[in-house]
Amino acid sequence: MTDHKEKMKDIVALCKRRGFIFAASDIYGGINGFWDYGPLGVELKNNLRDRWWRDMVLCPPIGPDGAPISIVGVDSSIIQNPKCWEASGHIGGFNDPMVDCRESKKRYRADHVVVLVSKDGEGASLAFDKDATDEEIDARLKKLAKGKTRDDFEKAQLDQVPAEGFTNIIGPDVKNAGTLTEPRQFNMMFHTYVGAASGDDNKAYLRPETCAGIFLNFKNVVDSSRVKAPFGIAQVGKAFRNEVTPRNFIFRSREFEQMELEWFCEEEEVPMWFDFWVEERTRFWESVGIPKSELYFLDVPKEELAHYSSRTIDVEYRFPFSAPEFDELEGIAHRGCFDLTQHQEFSGTKLDYFDQAGNKRFIPHVIEPSTGLTRGVLALICQAYTVDKDRPSGVYLNFHPAMAPIKAAILPLTAKEEHVPLAQKLYLDLRHEFAVELDIKQNIGRRYARQDEIGTPYCFTVDNDTIADQTVTVRDRNTMSQERIHMDKVKDFLREKIVG
Ligand code: GAP
């Protein structure tokens, strides 16, 4: 196994061991593509969500002209009138090409499978997961390709192999050719039935993206609040996609959370606002602990753009499973006036905007920074995961203090009579303002190790000197260095360090 894959395996194990993320329905063997957040995972997720909400809605950035911009929030229903998804194009077009293997019974996304086609046309072609390492490919070639090496083949993507070539492909998990079906389109929306009857008339869908609820409420928001274009509407919430191949832990799941902003502006202003949002979103990721060096900005090629978009920049992060390459963390799309125009047509309700200053009506254009909250959580965990053989835990999570689920642990050096009451006093004083833990049991080394593994930035230890002079030691998670400060100064210390 490569280092990167090994690292991902270790991260998944730590997440379970320490209560960040569990497989959903774990005791029943799980359910593919669904995940539960444990006590620490939910805090981390809430921290990222709250920071996004604060930076977008409560305290949005200053605009390019130096004036504050205006963004309001909504929290719309997950199930909407199904006509919404006809208008948005999801019922007709939210499809992934998928391929089934008749023998292994596995299902693959055709664009996630690479095929090695022999250059001389002799022998079968071999299919692999797109993330397969060279070692994995070589091992299978040795078994199945009769002395041929990688150089005897050329790579193609499964969805580009012509239909007649399919009978000659050995699927990723089998030994004989001819078991793969041709790619079929597969609609990714989960559906349900509303009310007692379960006919087509009652069919409804779980939203595949949160932005739709924003477009549906555009008129309500304009009519009921004091927003003036340009302005934004933001929403955070669950989205559901019946992904053909959920993969890479919580990276691609079937139930996940998004944080989306729809920024409504005039068409002529699109380039300025597009650049503004790319810059702001980069600044956001840096401010929560993702360095720019780990980000890549992909200007999505025209032929790969979503049907509604004329320009998209994907903000990609170097996840361990993609390393040394990057994979999508957030998409910043120019959606044009597609959504409002479509919903206006399908609903028969006017969705234009009246600009009083300019005395004109127009359908605003939209720039959409759309990020996965749960994918963001994965990026924070991967970035924080730091191996350090010199400490007892062997690893620590280097979270930005504002993102850390627990900000500080209060530890009496021993479970002695004198240390515990003082530690309890400090704990009770801090817990009104900070997420802190009081941990009394086990030797101090073990308690430090646990806090390192869950990414707690500071440990305050009460010892004999505390009794004499009311000072405690502060241990810094990253450097493991310790200093003494007065108990009265602990709150200010934390306030200063955990700036959000
Ligand atoms: N409204 C636009 C939209 O939904 P998208 O690129 O399909 O665009 C936006 O999704 C973001 O949502 C992605 O960048 C990713 O962070 C997250 N996302 C999408 N599908 C996901 C999945 N199956 N699991 C986890 N996150 C997902």
Residue 92, pLDDT score: 82
pLDDT tens for residues 447-473?
Answer: 999 999 999 999 999 999 999 999 999
Residue 147, pLDDT score: 84
Counting residues of the chain whose pLDDT is more than 70, the rounded percentage is 99
426 and 485 housed in the same domain: yes
Does residue 389 form part of some domain?
Answer: no
Which of 25-39, 191-205, 221-235 is predicted with the least confidence, judged by mean pLDDT? 191-205
Does residue 416 form part of some domain?
Answer: yes
Nearest CA residue ID for atom 24, ligand 1: 252
Does residue 390 form part of some domain?
Answer: no
pLDDT tens for residues 86-144?
Answer: 999 998 877 788 898 988 888 898 988 999 998 888 889 999 998 888 888 999 999 99
Nearest CA residue ID for atom 14, ligand 1: 330
Q: Could you tell me the pLDDT band of residue 500, with boundaries at 50, 70 and 90? A: low
Does residue 391 form part of some domain?
Answer: no
Would you say the pTM of this structure is higher than 0.95?
no
Q: Which of 152, 186, 220 is the last residue of a domain?
A: 186
Residue with tokens 């190790």: 449
167 and 286 housed in the same domain: no
Q: Stretch 219-226: mean pLDDT, rounded?
A: 96
Q: Which of 383, 416, 437 is the last residue of a domain?
A: 383
* Mutational test site, ligand 1, from 34, 45, 96, 209, max ligand atoms within 8 Å of CB: 209
144 and 285 housed in the same domain: no
User: Which amino acid is present at 346?
Assistant: F
Distance in angstroms (rounded) separating the CA atoms of residues 262 and 239: 16
Q: Stretch 390-400: mean pLDDT, rounded?
A: 96
Distance in angstroms (rounded) separating the CA atoms of residues 452 and 393: 7
Q: Stretch 4-20: mean pLDDT, rounded?
A: 95
Distance in angstroms (rounded) separating the CA atoms of residues 486 and 498: 18
Nearest CA residue ID for atom 18, ligand 1: 372
- Mean model confidence pLDDT for the chain: 94
Which of 235-239, 242-246, 482-486 is predicted with the least confidence, judged by mean pLDDT? 242-246
478 and 351 housed in the same domain: no
75 and 219 housed in the same domain: yes
Nearest CA residue ID for atom 15, ligand 1: 372
Q: Stretch 384-407: mean pLDDT, rounded?
A: 97
DSSP H or E run through 46: helix 39-53
62 and 110 housed in the same domain: no
> Is the per-residue pLDDT at 487 higher than 80?
yes
Q: 84 alpha carbon to ligand 1 midpoint, in Å?
A: 19
* Mutational test site, ligand 1, from 85, 328, 381, max ligand atoms within 8 Å of CB: 328
288 and 210 housed in the same domain: yes
pLDDT tens for residues 256-277?
Answer: 999 999 999 999 999 999 999 9
Q: Dihedrals φ, ψ of 411, to 5°?
A: -125, 115
Counting residues of the chain whose pLDDT is more than 90, the rounded percentage is 81
Residue 158 domain boundaries: 96-186
Q: Which of 321, 318, 297, 301 is CA-nearest to residue 369?
A: 297
User: Which amino acid is present at 266?
Assistant: E
Which residues, 6 or more positions from 119, have their beta carbon under 8 angstroms from its beta carbon? 152, 153, 154
Q: 209 alpha carbon to ligand 1 midpoint, in Å?
A: 7
Q: 230 alpha carbon to ligand 1 midpoint, in Å?
A: 25
DSSP H or E run through 306: none
Burial class (CB in 10 A: 0-12, 13-18, 19+), 30: middle
79 and 148 housed in the same domain: no
70 and 138 housed in the same domain: no
pLDDT tens for residues 329-340?
Answer: 999 999 999 999
Beta strands in 46-190 (DSSP E): 71-73, 95-100, 107-109, 113-118, 125-129, 153-157, 169-170, 184-187
> Is the per-residue pLDDT at 35 higher than 80?
yes
Which residues line the pocket of ligand 1, CB cutoff 6 A? 209, 211, 241, 243, 252-253, 256, 258, 260, 328-331, 368, 370-372, 374-375
135 and 105 housed in the same domain: yes
My answer on whether omega of the bond before 68 falls inside 30° of 0, hence cis, is no
88 and 110 housed in the same domain: no
**Tokens standing for residue 315:** 């903000």
pLDDT tens for residues 289-311?
Answer: 999 999 999 999 998 898 889 99
Q: Which of 319, 349, 383 is the last residue of a domain?
A: 383
Query: The CATH number of the domain where 56 resides is what?
Result: 3.30.930.10
Residue 95, pLDDT score: 79
88 and 200 housed in the same domain: yes
Distance in angstroms (rounded) separating the CA atoms of residues 127 and 108: 11
Query: Could you give the number of structural domains in the chain?
Result: 3
Which of 94-98, 248-252, 474-478 is predicted with the least confidence, judged by mean pLDDT? 94-98
Residue 1, pLDDT score: 57
Question: In 324-372, where does DSSP find H-type helix?
Answer: 338-347
Cα separations in angstroms, 243 against 34, 139, 328: 11, 29, 16
Q: Stretch 197-206: mean pLDDT, rounded?
A: 91
**Tokens standing for residue 246:** 């959920």
